[in-house]
Amino acid sequence: MAIRWEDATRQNIQITAHRGIKDLIPENTIESFKAALDARCDVLEYDVHLSRDNVPVIMHDQTVERTTDGFGAISFMTLEEIKKLDAGIKFGEQFKGYRVPTFEETLDLFVSYDYKPLHIVEIKDFRPQCVDIVVEMLKKYDLVERTVIEAGDCPTLKYLQDYYPEFKTLSFMPYSMKRLDESIYDRLYGVSLPGSKTDPESVKKVLDGADFVEGKGLVLFLSGTTEEQMDNAINARCVNLTTNNLYKAQEYLAKKGLRK
């Protein structure tokens, strides 16, 4: 049976594989995505930038140093240059030779799974042309209903809402957004809150954020990988848990009776 966004509840928490299974396999690589999809994640999350020659590629950071053996801004590199980067070697010698995938390669893999998972596409390049290219490809693959598009920039989300209202949109809390325009919250699908910090002040901030999200009638996405982080997300009434270790989250939520 296909997975649907509306099936997520506090009693049936959907699990989002954050950049694949990034605790165990190099993030935002085909190998990490394949592992998450093989384990039947509900939702796959990844990040999109445009190369210098306007090809959408998968990477979280604006620069390539953290996750590859190269250096520089990804938007200043051609696809040919990006494909020469090793996206696994910094994670471990056994991952040597992993490459930065294109958006097209990622979508080819994603639609090959018959159980029809969902995905969150976070747009990291805030130029309208990036939005247009991403949306065009998602439509080509017939993925409108299975997609939530996320961005940390209000004008980017407003552009999506104005010109592509058929897509669900996801933001962060107002204090985390670039170029804040609170009108976007009137048309959002959901809000994503961080859950990595577990000190009392941070936990209270998450609970206050959950109240804000519920007050807006939006869907609450929260992150957590350790058991303490996941418990905090559950207590904050999330219906979607974004995690760096899919296997651990699947096992823990099943043990809690929060997976159907």
Catalytic annotation present for 49: no
For residues 138 and 120, what is the distance between their CA atoms, to the nearest angstrom? 12
Residue 229 has pLDDT above 70, yes or no: yes
Which candidate in 8, 13, 17, 18 is catalytic? 18
For residues 23 and 21, what is the distance between their CA atoms, to the nearest angstrom? 6
Q: Is residue 31 a contact partner of residue 110, using CB atoms and an 8 Å limit?
A: no
What does the pLDDT average to over 248-252? 98
Q: Is residue 152 a contact partner of residue 141, using CB atoms and an 8 Å limit?
A: no
pLDDT at residue 2, rounded to an integer: 82
> pLDDT digit string (tens) for 102-131?
999 999 999 999 999 999 999 999 999 999
Q: How confident is the model at residue 260 (pLDDT cuts 50, 70, 90)?
A: confident
168: DSSP letter: E
> pLDDT digit string (tens) for 75-109?
999 999 999 999 999 999 999 999 999 999 999 99
Secondary structure class of 119 (helix, strand, coil): strand
> pLDDT digit string (tens) for 161-214?
999 999 999 999 999 999 999 999 999 999 999 999 999 999 999 999 999 999
For residues 94 and 5, what is the distance between their CA atoms, to the nearest angstrom? 36
pLDDT at residue 66, rounded to an integer: 98
Question: Tokens 């592992």 identify what position?
Answer: 35
Residue 170 pairs in a beta bridge with 150, 190
Q: Is residue 50 a contact partner of residue 130, using CB atoms and an 8 Å limit?
A: yes
Catalytic annotation present for 60: yes
Among 16, 61, 56, 28, residue whose Cα is nearest residue 140: 56
> pLDDT digit string (tens) for 131-167?
999 999 999 999 999 999 999 999 999 999 999 999 9
Question: Tokens 């099936």 identify what position?
Answer: 7
For residues 59 and 99, what is the distance between their CA atoms, to the nearest angstrom? 11
Which candidate in 60, 124, 146, 168 is catalytic? 60
Q: Is 179 left (phi over 0), alpha (psi -120 to 50) or beta?
A: left
Residue 1 has pLDDT above 80, yes or no: no
Q: How confident is the model at residue 64 (pLDDT cuts 50, 70, 90)?
A: very high
**Continuous segment of H or E residues that includes residue 232:** helix 227-235
What residue spans define the domains of the chain? Answer: 5-48+106-255
CATH class, domain 5-48+106-255, is: alpha beta
